[in-house]
Chain A
Amino acid sequence: MIATLLFALFIITMLLGVPIGASLGLAGAAAIALANSQTQWFGLLAVPQNFYAGLGKYPLLAIPMFVLVGSIFDRSGVAARLVNFATAIVGRGPGMLPLITIAVAMFMGGISGSGPATAAAVGGVMIAAMTKAGYPKAYSASVVGAAAATDILIPPSVAFIVYSVLVPGASVPALFAAGMVPGILVGLALIGPAVWLARKHGMGKSEADLPRPPLLKSFIESIWGLLAPVVILGGMRMGWFTPTEAAVVAVFYGLFVGMVIHRTMTWRDLFPILKESGELSAVILIVVALAGIFAFSLSTLAVIDPITQAIVNSGLGEYGVLTLVVLLLVVAGMFLDGISIFLIFVPLLWPLMQHYHWDTVWFGVLLTLMVAMGQFTPPMAVNLMVSCRIAGVSMETTVRWVMPLVLAMGVVVLMVIVWPQLALWLPQALGF
């Protein structure tokens, strides 16, 4: 009864456009008060306690720092130089620019922790270049949006940090390592349809006429960008820094490159960068904190176990249930953003994971794959939103180009479900 009210209140207020954090917090508080109507203050002291405890976790500090890294590298001029270097390697020709877009987005994924930041950095360079070479803008926006989705899979990744805070036993380094192979697979899977579409529709005819940058010069210019993932991922792998510290080292590295080497930034640019990344982090963190209240009320009401039992005994079998979960996430991904999906669904799915002995790291990669796919599947597609705005096209025009890319990614999701070792091999080999 109270549980029904909890979910009804949450879903109705959320659909009415109330901030998701407020919906979670109010529904949680209402359920706690009704369940403890006999006790002093209705047990509501648990509300600020869970709010504070939900935020007061050191690993969460990696979120504002990686958001800051994304904002700084966005303006550091690294993306443009990486594009030049990639062009010098693969050369010019129809279908080469989309390939370069995907490769550079994957590489930027090894620096920044969020998809939209990469979409902005890569889109800012590539969409103009692709338009000049004769690719339709809607197609370019689709490729950039899809390519940037590899970002939250390829470490570092804000999504994995949130997941690791929610799931005991899934450490950030293990998740980071587990995302690597699936992230690269997604990138490779996207290249196929992207190049095929370009060839089939005769795009980029004038690309071959553009000059090819000299190899050595472009390599030297891009060396600072090429070294960034080495510093971040290598430093974590060698045990030099925790993920949070790796992010901070990347912040100062990015500032040095942007201000001293490439001179694309000044001191004055630093203030808006700090403010916007603080604001974005707060918008994420406040939902994390308020979702703590919701999760607490779920656990005290003990509603998840009966639901889990009903699902487990429904005769669907392990793969039937997994299919259902994936379909549920596809639908949720159409309306909800990635962070909210984690915060709402991980507590609900946790008993299922335990019952079927699903590996928590593998399941985290699967959830993140679904979120990444949602980031470029219209109508609610944050990466596409960014790339469409840069290209100056509406999201509707991208649908015909995006769908083959979504399908290609769906194949990778299936592969990771069928062969969990694709995700789990690297963390085991590295000993996490």
Chain B
Amino acid sequence: MTTRTLRLCRIAVVLAAIALAPAAAFAQLPTINRTLRDAALTAVQKEFAAPLAAATTDAEKRAVYRQMFEALMRNDSLYPRLTQAGYRDAIAQDSSRAYTGLVTAVGAEVRESAISPSVNAPLSNPAANGLIERSGATELIALAADLRSLFASDGSAVTLNLNAVALFRGTTRNNIHAGAQYLYAQRENWRRVSGSVTFGAKIPEKDLTGISGIPNPNELFDAIAWDVKVRAIGDRDPRASKWYELFVGRMGTVTELAATVPTHPIVPIADTGIAADAANEVLGNETRMAANRVANSLLVSVKTSGQHLTQEAGRNKYAVAVMVDKGFANVDFTANATYSAADAPVIAATDPFKTKDWQLSAALTGSVLKNALVNGRAAELSAAFSGIIQMDDADIPIDRKNVFKLNATLSLPLMDKAKIPLSFTYSNDPNNLEKEKYVIGQIGVSYDFGSIWSALK
């Protein structure tokens, strides 16, 4: 009897599954439960029956259908309730069922300044143009050259940026045609870690120690610099698992409703085109809102760095920095806080000592001239303010004053992933014996190999 009951239960489950199957007969990702959707659609149709009947023109009908879509999207029961692991499994299964496919470069269709990674290392690279460092890092490998010598005599420097994920072999995908999110999910946590090495820099004494009140603060020294950076909070890459619920869950439901509702038997054949137009309008709004949510999300990174004079023993500078990025409307706000300690030179009649500084910087960055120079890319314009606050102990033999800098940088896009940053920095320096106030102009070039690497691996 028990066995028979069990068998009947199994048959009932199979029959129920078959009954529900047509809605998802071929679907590769989880779909809306058809019973729920049809009930919601019927309710919405009932709610809007009078306005729809009263609508006499196509425009009026489209407005009503648009309200119907918006009402459907407010129905929480239509959205999937998957965990992060559930989304990951669904994406992996979808990729494994792909028919054909090419994997090409992925950037984000959000504003360029929002996803712009730091391919240089302004906080640790003494020759870098710009005062501010963004929280993001290169996807794989990037090179940046600072051609300061064009405007000043401080030489040039080259910075190699490396993401930790570049240390691994590309994900094996001989037997599958993987989707963008599936590939990004491989070693996703390693993508948080990046590092850079700057070589070829010649820096003046004052840039290392902050001491300009000495006879020759502009004497140049050969230096190398390094940093290790970890993105602690956030990810503005739309492929990241952080956004599964938004893109696969919410937006996937919106695209499903946009495709199913205009073709549903409940919509009169004569209204099919109008309903599709209304769905397209709603989908466009939802797509823009999703892009803005990614672009304006919070990013926080921490990094540690070192600068070393290669021809002077025992002359090092170490720093720890926190970087915060947050978007507002169409502008990105970036703030950096850096604590550093540097070995000062031996000055007559004193023992070696360390100078200690807090550097606090803030910047606003926006995208301008989209599609003007390179199709699909924009230039970035940023304005930054930075203050260097001396934290010396009482026994330091030199009295240093705080230094302030203003910077404007315009980064022009070049080809697919290159940039040419042009920057101008104004600085006061009350410590300088010559009491000079100066402006430095710099030009650089950077190339992020992420896209090429992705295409080749």
A binds B: no
